[in-house]
Structure 1
Amino acid sequence: MPADDPSSIPAHLARNLAGLRHTRSLTQEQLAKAASVPRSTIANLESGEGNPSLAVLVKVAGALGVPIDELLASPRALVRHWSAAEVAKRQKGRGVTIRELVPEPVPDEMMEVMDFAPGAVMAGTPHLPGTREFFTCLHGQVVISVAGERYPLAAGEVLAFPGNLPHSYQNADALAAAQGVSVVVLAKAGV
Structure 2
Amino acid sequence: MIDEHVAANLAENIRALRDGRGLSQGQLAKSAGIPRPTWTNLESGSANPTLAVLLKVAEALHVRLEELLAPPRGIGKIYKASELTVRKRGKVTVRKLLPEVLRGLDIERLELAAGATMTGVPHTAGTREYLTCERGSVELSVRGRSFLLEAGDVVVFAGDQPHGYRNVGRGLAVAHIVVTFAPRSDMDEHP
Cα 1:87/1:152, change in 2 over 3 Å = same
Is it true that 1:91 corresponds to 2:116 in the alignment? no
Look up the equivalent residue of 1:96 and give its one-letter code.
V
Give the 3 Å change call, closer, same or farther, for CA 181–98 of structure 1 in structure 2. same
Output aligned runs, 1:3-152, within 5 Å.
Answer: 10-16=7-13, 19=16, 48=45, 71-73=70-72, 77-92=74-89, 94-152=90-148
Report the Cα offset of residue 180 of structure 1. Answer: 0.7
2:180 counterpart residue number: 185
TM, length-normalised to structure 2: 0.65
Shift of 1:47: 6.5
Secondary structure, in 3 states, of the residue corresponding to 2:166? Answer: strand
C-alpha separation in 1, matches of 2:19 and 2:94: 28
C-alpha distance in 2, partners of 1:152/1:64? Answer: 42
Displacement after TM superposition at 1:154 (Å):
0.4
Aligned residue in 1 for 2:155: 159
Distance across 2 between alignment mates of 1:65 and 1:85: 26
Distance 1:65 1:103 in 2: 16
Query: Which TM-score applies when normalising by structure 1?
Result: 0.65
Distance 1:64 1:118 in 2: 44
1:121 partner amino acid: T
- The Cα shift of 1:97 comes to 1.0
Q: Shift in Å at residue 65 of structure 1? A: 8.3
Contact 1:125 1:166 in 2 (8 A): yes
- In structure 2, give the amino acid aligned to 1:177: L
Shift of the 157–64 alpha-carbon distance from structure 1 to 2, 3 Å rule, reads farther
Query: What's the CA shift for 1:96?
Result: 1.0
Tell me the secondary structure at the aligned position of residue 72 of structure 1: coil
Contact 1:116/1:179 (CA < 8 Å) preserved in 2? yes
Task: Confirm whether residue 176 of structure 1 aligns to residue 175 of structure 2.
Answer: no
Report the identity percentage: 37
